[in-house]
Structure 1
């Protein structure tokens, strides 16, 4: 069942790679600013490993919900829940909440998400975590901006998709 207020924000390689060794595959300063601009003032939902991979938390001006199967987890400035359903219940009255990872969380929320905010790096990367393969027939492109990162030497795009 799709939830109108559940959005996914993710940076992916063209082969759907998103991470390796609990870290991002590429460092795009503009994408970090893009992420901040989109998620600021909203709730972000993540798994515990994603939270632990952040340089520091909580991220400013965002409500943090962490899904964890470890009952004794407590993270300063974060709300910990034990299931997707509990996370969805906590944001049911919000206009938009963002799923920010990691791999298992993306996989579980993907069928429910109404919108995808993608940063697509136009090359393949070796990874140990992948985003679910996107069937573009089920999504309508809302916007697209193309860029070149001189520092890393690769092209990337911001693509926003809404479920058809």
Structure 2
């Protein structure tokens, strides 16, 4: 068992903290430290973070994978569609250095809701029951990589989320 699989929760939280740090650093350096960050205590409707800048509130579901990973899709919670400016940020990272980017993004313009995902394939549990049946997860949809807009930098992501240039 590798560190990647044995310590996956550790790595996921590490990537989340690095990501928040990059957003806060950008806000500090270019946007008068206006970014506010909140964590939800319970992940009931699919978001991990709530980010706010100048009245734009983003409920953000985070996904992570190594840049070298062949991950072809992500499971997205439908509850995120009901949130104002809900979005998904797929943080890709370099396994050797943990450098972040690119950032595939799924979401509308600032102030706009997440696109309707009900036409996407219904997700299934990854593990089967005693009979091997993998039950549907009706509140989750499978969104292929092609459904995300690839953003190369944290600056491009910040702009897509909050409407700032550079």
TM-score, normalising length: structure 2: 0.28
Higher helix share: 2
Higher strand share: 1
Higher relative contact order (CA 8 A, sep 6+): 1
Q: Which has the larger radius of gyration?
A: 2
